[in-house]
């Protein structure tokens, strides 16, 4: 009788051991698949600007932000691009919209391209700087990195306004230790054939030049964020 009981217990123990091994294997496979799925999730780049980034007067596919998506893909960076730019947006409007954008998209990097409409409307420079700094602070608190893009306005506004306007971007970048695109559309207004009839917005033929202005400052941020 005892040998029979011993054999039964031995078989039971063997069966339980097999089940335990199978369970452990299943758990490990599940963890591996979950890790792989998590690793494959793209980071998010939020482009937060005005008409210069919203492909004003162009087809959306022609805009520099759309070209940026292709550039990121070619560079084998695992990022999705969200373009939250709105034509006519001021820094005040941007500041009001930003919290919802950060909550909705939880970006890793944010390009802030605002202020041009403030300048064109002759709005107070102190308000522009205050709004930009507030946006930078919100982005920092969210854990994302900021790329600030500098803007210049036409010289007919007078040097007493245009010079301090342009300097705001450099001052903020220096004090907040931000990456800065000195002038988003640098090299384009000097070529009238590349500008739309309004003299403010670049044509489709100039969009790749905007990307060339942005990419050297953006790529390091993307690669740094990708590592994390």
User: pLDDT tens digit string along 55-92?
Assistant: 999 999 999 999 999 999 999 999 999 999 999 999 99
Please say whether the beta carbons of 46 and 84 come within 8 A: yes
Structure confidence at residue 36 (pLDDT): 41
Q: How far apart are CA 9 and CA 14, in angstroms?
A: 8
Q: Which helix (H) or strand (E) holds 31?
A: helix 2-40
Percentages (nearest 5) of helix, strand, coil residues in the chain: 60, 10, 25
- Torsions phi, psi of 45, nearest 5? -110, 120
Average pLDDT score, the chain: 89
User: If you average pLDDT over residues 93-122, what whole number do you get?
Assistant: 98
Question: 42-227 in CATH: which number?
Answer: 3.40.50.1110
- Res. 171: pLDDT tops 80: yes
pLDDT > 90: what percent of the chain?
81
Please say whether the beta carbons of 184 and 52 come within 8 A: yes
What band does 43 get if pLDDT is binned at 50, 70 and 90? very high
For CA atoms 127, 132, 137, 138, give the dihedral sign: positive
Structure confidence at residue 226 (pLDDT): 82
CA 23 centroid distance within chain: 42
Residues known to be catalytic: 51, 198, 201
Q: How many CA atoms lie within 13 A of 204 on its CB side?
A: 7
Question: Domain coordinates of the chain in residue numbers?
Answer: 1-41, 42-227
Q: How far apart are CA 28 and CA 71, in angstroms?
A: 37
- Res. 21: pLDDT tops 80: no
- Res. 38: pLDDT tops 70: no
Q: Which residue has the higher pLDDT, 24 or 179?
A: 179
User: If you average pLDDT over residues 26-38, what whole number do you get?
Assistant: 44
SS3 118: helix
Cα torsion for 98, 103, 105, 109, to the nearest 10°?
60
160: exposed, middle or buried (Cβ count in 10 Å: 0-12, 13-18, 19+): exposed
Which residue has tokens 């903020």?
172
Query: Any residues with CB less than 8 A from the CB of 198 and at least 6 apart, and which?
Result: 57
Cα torsion for 120, 69, 94, 225, to the nearest 10°?
-120
Give this prediction's pTM.
Answer: 0.83
pLDDT tens string 110-157: 999 999 999 999 999 999 999 999 999 999 999 999 999 999 999 999
Structure confidence at residue 34 (pLDDT): 45
What band does 2 get if pLDDT is binned at 50, 70 and 90? low
Structure confidence at residue 29 (pLDDT): 44
């Amino acid at each position: 009788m005892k040998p029979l009981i011993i054999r039964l217990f031995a078989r039971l123990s063997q069966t339980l051991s097999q089940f335990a091994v199978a369970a452990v294997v299943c758990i490990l496979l599940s963890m591996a698949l979950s890790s792989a799925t998590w690793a494959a999730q793209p980071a998010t780049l939020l482009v937060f600007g005005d008409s210069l980034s919203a492909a004003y007067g162009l087809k959306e596919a022609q805009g520099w932000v759309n070209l940026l998506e292709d550039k990121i893909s070619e560079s084998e960076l695992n990022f999705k691009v969200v373009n939250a730019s709105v034509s006519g947006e001021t820094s005040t409007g941007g500041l009001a919209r930003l919290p919802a954008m950060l909550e909705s998209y939880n970006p890793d990097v944010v390009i802030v391209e605002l202020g041009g409409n403030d300048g064109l409307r002759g709005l107070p420079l102190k308000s522009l700087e205050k709004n930009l700094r507030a946006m930078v602070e919100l982005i920092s608190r969210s854990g994302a990195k900021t790329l600030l893009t500098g803007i210049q306005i036409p010289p007919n506004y007078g040097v007493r306004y245009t010079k301090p306007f342009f300097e705001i971007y450099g001052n903020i970048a220096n004090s907040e230790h931000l990456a800065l695109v000195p002038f988003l559309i640098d090299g384009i207004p000097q070529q009238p054939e590349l500008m739309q009839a309004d003299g403010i917005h670049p044509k489709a033929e100039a969009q790749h030049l905007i990307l060339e202005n942005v990419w050297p400052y953006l790529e390091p941020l993307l690669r740094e964020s990708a590592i994390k």
